[in-house]
Structures are given as C-alpha cells and as structure tokens.
C-alpha cells in the first residue's frame, strides 16, 4: 500500500484528489493543510473516517513541522497542491502568495529532499514529488495559439508570478540535486466543493440568491475549463506514469468567454429554478481586474499522447453536474458563506 502525502488536501482540487485516492485506490493519504479560509474539512467528510486517511494541520512554511510529518508518515510520494490560489486576492494582498507559494514550496522541497536522501532501495527509487501548477504561468494569449510545455513563462499577476517561481524552484531541485519531480500546469478547474470566490461557484450562488452577477470588463476574456475530477484523474496518472523532470499541460480544449460561462449557468438555473428566471437579468458589468489576462488555452496533446489521458466530462455535462451539486448541498454552501470569506466578499462587492 502506497502512502501519498497531499498538501492542500482540504482545498478545492486537493479534496477531489484525496476523495479519489480513498474511494478508487488502496493508497493511504496524509493530508497536510493549514486550513486557511480556503481549506474546508467538510469537503472531506465522506472519506475522513477511512483508516487510510490522516490529517495534519500544518503550515508548509513551518520547516520543523513539515519534517516531522515526513518522519512520522514515511510517504512514497508527495502531491503539492497547497497554495494561495485566487488572482483577485493576490492583487489586494500579494504577501501571503509569496510566503506560501514560494517560501512554502522551498520549505517543502527541502524537507522532501532530506527525507528522500534518508531512503534507500525501492523506496528511494520510486519516490516522486509532483508539483501542481497553473497555465497562468505562461501569461496571456492573443486570439490564436495555445500554451504548450515549450511556451515561455510570462506570468502577469502576483498569483501567477508566485506559481511560476515555485515551478522554477521545483525544476532547479531536479536539475541540481537530481530530486525526482514531475510538474503539471492545468487550465481553470470547476466543479463541486469550489470556493465561491471564483467565477463559476460565485455566479451560481449569486444567481440563486437573486444577487448581481459581477462581470469584469466586457466579459470577453477567455478561460479554458476542465472539470475538477478530470484534473484529479490526470494528476494521479502523471504521478504514476509521468517521466521524471518533465512537465505536462492539462486541459480539456474548452475555451469559453466569461459571458458564455455566465449565460450557460443562467440557462441551467432557469430550467432548474424557474422561479428566479431569467437569471441572466442579474448580469452586472463591473470595473475590470487590473492586468486582466485576455485568453488562456491549453494544448493538452502531450498528456493525451504520452499517457493516454482524456477528460470524461464535456463542459456541458460538467457544468450541469456542478450547478446541481450546489443546489443540493446547502450545508456545505452555508459553511463557506460565513466568517472571514464573507467579510472579504462584502468589502469587494458591497453585497
Ligand atoms: P484552494 O485555494 O481551493 O486550496 C488551497 C488549499 O491549500 C487550502 O486547503 C488551504 O488551506 C491550503 N493552504 C494554503 N496555504 C497553506 C499553507 N501555507 N500550508 C498548508 N496548506 C495551505 O486551491 P485549488 O483551487 O484547490 O488549487 C490547488 C492547487 O492547484 C494550487 O497550487 C493552484 O495553484 C493549482 N491550480 C488551480 C487551478 C484552479 O482552477 N483552481 C488550476 C490549475 C492549477
Ligand atoms: P477566476 O475564477 O478568478 O479564475 P482566474 O482569474 O484564475 O482565471 O476568474 C475567471 C474569469 O472570470 C476571469 O477572467 C475573471 C472573471 N471574473 C469575473 O468576471 N467576475 C468575477 O466575479 C470573478 C471572480 C471572475
């Protein structure tokens, strides 16, 4: 039985990865999470009682604590998802992004390398550090073209610059120390358990509550959307079969303007919640995000060709599942709609 150390396992994507490992494999999972505003143990309620699941509330910037976790749990692999992840927050407060995404990644790499150096035999040969990153490190595209693994890094926001820095650290640890790493850069995820500060869950919940749907600028920025469980399956595949030192782009070939996304959500809600229709009348154009990247689009040929990965959901099936999940999981929604997050959203939008 393998032991996978997952950082950020109480977050949106991390919790999907943890649920898959517990439900679909016989691996043991150690979830290392600080539980910031974005970390939510409710997202793991369905697997938390498994004897193969362990939780460590630890900040990845705390070297001694991170070293203790490695000593005590003796993992076979690390999947590093812990991060500050929201672009708007990185604009209003970049320091936390530098701390967790850059300093935290460095602390984790050093703890993992020290631990790896202490191993021998098959345990050492099989060890892997999988760094989970974003396509935003590549910057912004014009009307044509795609991000490939060869695209030059040109991060534009404090968030993407901090993720680009962490990618470079991981690359350097491989090049300098021979540390066994794989890196993935994925497009925008959506799906259940997504914190409602990001576009899709925010629009679903605001529309349900008859609140304005804040569209930045003209709503013509393009994102490339992937259902979170498809991302989690890709991550598990790369961990198992990815070539050491390589990078894999992950995306579902699903480019949409923000207006197309919001209109699609409103159309599903008009059908499922007709009492609020037409939900699209709540669309409100607000001031654009500073430095707003125009278009992201992933060329996923490499992971498809080399590892045989294919997403299972289309944007239409995934979005419908997502809206249905938010409509039928009020406890989770109430849980995240209070406290620090709510204060932040009120300051941003006055809602
Ligand atoms: P998220 O914000 O939902 O979750 C992040 C998790 O990390 C939270 O549980 C939080 O408590 C934890 N965390 C934050 N700081 C920590 C620290 N110092 N120590 C320990 N834990 C800490 O993020 P997400 O959307 O699930 O993204 C996960 C990873 O995937 C991130 O590295 C992100 O950059 C990357 N990514 C996200 C997307 C996306 O669309 N959401 C796309 C591509 C890549
Ligand atoms: P977001 O979900 O924050 O992800 P990212 O910035 O990492 O791509 O935003 C997705 C797109 O939606 C982005 O172009 C910004 C836009 N957006 C809005 O128009 N209104 C909103 O309230 C939010 C949160 C985002």
Nearest to 193 by CA among 50, 350, 40: 40
CB neighbours of 20 closer than 8 A, spacing ≥ 6?
Answer: 229, 232, 233, 236
CA of 87 to the centre of ligand 2 (A): 8
pTM, full prediction: 0.97
Residue 246 CA to its chain's centroid (Å) = 20
The protein residue whose alpha carbon is closest to atom 6 in ligand 2 is 87
CA of 235 to the centre of ligand 1 (A): 14
Rg of the chain on CA atoms, in Å: 20
Percent above pLDDT 90 for the chain: 95
The pLDDT value given to residue 338: 75
Band (131; pLDDT cuts 50, 70, 90):
very high
CA of 200 to the centre of ligand 2 (A): 8
Task: Point out the ligand 1 atom lying closest to the alpha carbon of residue 14.
Answer: 26
What does the DSSP assignment read for 305-336?
HHH----S--HHHHHHHHHHHHHT-HHHHHHH
DSSP H or E run through 31 = strand 28-32
Q: Is the dihedral of CA 236, 241, 243, 248 positive or negative?
A: negative
Structural domains of the chain, ranges and CATH numbers in brackets: 3-343 (3.40.50.720)
Per-residue CA distances from 248 to 124, 214, 223 (Å): 23, 33, 18
C-beta of residue 64 within 8 angstroms of C-beta of residue 86: no
Please count the residues of the chain: 351
Q: What SS3 class is residue 184?
A: strand
- Residue ranges lining ligand 2, Cβ < 6 Å: 87, 188, 198-199, 202, 214-216, 221, 223, 258, 289
Q: Which two tokens stand for residue 173?
A: 């640890």
- Residue ranges lining ligand 1, Cβ < 6 Å: 7-8, 10-14, 33-36, 38-39, 59-61, 81-85, 100, 104, 132-134, 163, 186, 188-189, 195
CA of 216 to the centre of ligand 2 (A): 8
Q: Which two tokens stand for residue 141?
A: 């595209």
pLDDT at 350 over 70: no
Task: Point out the ligand 1 atom lying closest to the alpha carbon of residue 80.
Answer: 32
* 141 vs 146: CA distance, rounded Å: 7
* 121 vs 30: CA distance, rounded Å: 22
Q: List pLDDT tens digits, range 52-90.
A: 999 999 999 999 999 999 999 999 999 999 999 999 999
Nearest to 39 by CA among 11, 80, 6: 11
List, by residue number, the catalytic residues: 135-136, 159
The protein residue whose alpha carbon is closest to atom 13 in ligand 1 is 82
């Amino acid at each position: 039985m393998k032991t996978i150390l997952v950082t950020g396992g109480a977050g949106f994507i991390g919790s999907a990865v943890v649920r898959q490992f517990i439900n679909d494999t016989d691996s043991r999972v150690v979830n290392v999470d600080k539980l910031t505003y974005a970390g939510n143990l409710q997202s793991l309620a369905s697997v938390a009682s498994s004897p193969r699941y362990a939780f460590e509330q630890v900040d990845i910037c705390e070297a001694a604590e991170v070293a203790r976790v490695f000593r005590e749990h003796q993992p076979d692999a690390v999947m590093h998802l812990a991060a500050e992840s929201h672009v708007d927050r990185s604009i209003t407060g970049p320091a936390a992004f530098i701390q967790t995404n850059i300093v935290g990644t460095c602390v984790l790499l050093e703890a993992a390398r020290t631990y790896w150096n202490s191993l021998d035999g098959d345990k050492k040969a099989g060890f892997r550090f999988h760094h989970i990153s974003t396509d935003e490190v590549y910057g912004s595209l014009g009307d044509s073209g795609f991000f490939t693994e060869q695209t030059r890094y040109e991060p534009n926001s404090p968030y993407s610059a901090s993720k680009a820095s962490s990618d470079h650290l991981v690359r350097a640890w491989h090049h300098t120390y021979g540390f066994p790493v794989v890196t993935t850069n994925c497009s925008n995820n959506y799906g259940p358990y997504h914190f409602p500060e990001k576009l899709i869950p925010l629009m679903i919940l605001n529309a349900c509550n008859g609140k304005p749907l804040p569209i930045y600028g003209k709503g013509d920025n393009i994102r490339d959307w992937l259902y979170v469980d498809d991302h989690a399956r890709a991550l598990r595949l790369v961990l198992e079969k990815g070539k050491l030192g390589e990078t894999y782009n992950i995306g579902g070939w699903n480019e949409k303007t923000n207006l197309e996304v919001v209109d699609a959500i409103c159309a599903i809600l008009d059908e499922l919640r007709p009492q609020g229709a037409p939900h699209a009348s709540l669309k409100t154009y607000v001031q654009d995000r500073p430095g707003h990247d125009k278009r992201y689009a992933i060329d996923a040929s490499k992971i498809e060709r080399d590892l045989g990965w294919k997403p299972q959901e289309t944007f239409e099936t995934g979005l419908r599942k997502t809206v249905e999940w938010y409509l039928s999981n009020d406890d989770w929604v109430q849980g995240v709609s209070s406290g620090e997050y709510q204060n932040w959203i009120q300051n941003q939008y006055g809602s």
